[in-house]
Amino acid sequence: MIIRRRKRRLEVAELLQTLVDKHATGTIYVAWDNAITHQDDEVEAVVRAAAGRLVLLYLPTYSPWLNPIEMLWRHFRREVTHCEIFETVKLLLEASYSFFNRYNKDPKNVLSIIGAHPS
């Protein structure tokens, strides 16, 4: 897991490079919105260096219904951050890790939440 304070173009390029490095074979598909940090030379360089293995699937402007992760974020907000004020960042991170650890134990549930159906 990569945690960064900011999501600027260098951090986005680093994330894409990490995906390419972690998945050394096969094609990697990434649902991509129109954030300004996604439109930069550093990001383009990673995509070009991946030689067709990294495919960015661009979403229309503001289309949360087309971005499956939005459904998981809805669950995250409801279970972790809704009406919560965390006294420290550490407590927020602990609650976040707990949520993702719980959901990582049941990938079929996550697939169901995001509208994918495991085969």
Domain boundaries in the chain? 9-60, 69-113
Which residue type sits at 77? R
For the residues 41-45, what does the mean pLDDT come to? 86
Q: Tell me what pLDDT residue 119 has.
A: 46
Distance between CA 49 and CA 41 in Å, rounded?
A: 12
For the residues 16-38, what does the mean pLDDT come to? 85
Does residue 4 register a pLDDT over 80?
no
Distance between CA 54 and CA 48 in Å, rounded?
A: 8
For the residues 73-95, what does the mean pLDDT come to? 92
Residues 13/23/106/33 CA torsion (nearest 10 deg) = 30
- The answer to whether the pTM exceeds 0.75 is no
For the residues 81-96, what does the mean pLDDT come to? 92
At 71, give phi and psi (nearest 5°): -65, -40
Q: Tell me what pLDDT residue 57 has.
A: 83
